[in-house]
Amino acid sequence: MDFQTAYRELHPGLHRFALRLTGDADVADDIVQESFTRLVSQDMPLEEAKSWLYVVAANLVRDRARNRQRRGRLLEATPPMPSMPEAADVRVERLERIARVRRALAELSERDARLLLMREEGFKYAEIAEVLGVKSTSVGALVARALKRFARAYGSEDEVDATPD
């Protein structure tokens, strides 16, 4: 696989992964850009690049959060306002939905958030295990528990929303 092919195949998923982790398109752009830039300088078969890129991207997300001491704010971050005119109620509803997902993701540990997002990108258990430094035989249980935790946090907001005034 040449670099161009690797880029074409891996860019969308890596960008989605970074975007979901950060909730910020500009930050995700920077992280994906930086990850591919680092890949160029690696002496690594491109076939093996996928896992490596996700590790780098996830670490960059973490480093940014730490360096700026704003992890909490990152998780609460709301994206920039769209440039197209949009009804205020539509915009508000969208921002509320985004915040709801981010709050549910914030209920997960960093490892579990990575775990679920990598699974969502189609990584095999063995690949996830290698990236996260866990046993591949543990991945299934970790996935199950993390999914339940996410669903509980995400679903509990429905219950709150459904509470009469």
Partner 1 sequence: MQHLTESDLQAWIDRELASGDQPRVSGHLEDCAACRRELGELRRVSEVFSAAMHAYDDDLTAATPAVAAVARRPFGILSSSRVGRAAAIFLVAAAAVAAAVVPGSPLREIWEPEAAEPAAIARPGTRPVEEIVSPVGASITIRPREGRLTVRVRDFAPGTRVLVRLSEGSAAVASLPDGAENARFIVASGVLELVGPGNRTAKPDEGEEIEILLPRTLTAAVVEIDGRAVARVTGGKLVSLGPVVRDSVGEAVFDIGG
> What is the C-alpha separation between 163 and 130, in angstroms, rounded?
43
Cα angle vertex 136, ends 102, 50, to 5°?
65
Choose the stretch contacting partner 1; rule: CB under 8 A; options: 52-60, 65-73, 79-87.
79-87
Cβ proximity to partner 1: between 73 and 144 the closer is 144
> What is the C-alpha separation between 11 and 17, in angstroms, rounded?
10
Cβ proximity to partner 1: between 28 and 65 the closer is 28
- Alpha-carbon torsion 112, 35, 120, 127, what sign? negative
> What is the C-alpha separation between 34 and 64, in angstroms, rounded?
12
Question: Which positions lie near partner 1, rule CB under 8 A?
Answer: 2-4, 7-9, 11-12, 15-16, 19-20, 23, 25-26, 28-30, 32-33, 36-37, 40, 46, 79-84, 91, 94-95, 97-98, 101, 104, 116-117, 119-120, 122, 124-125, 137-141, 143-145, 147-148, 150-151, 154-155
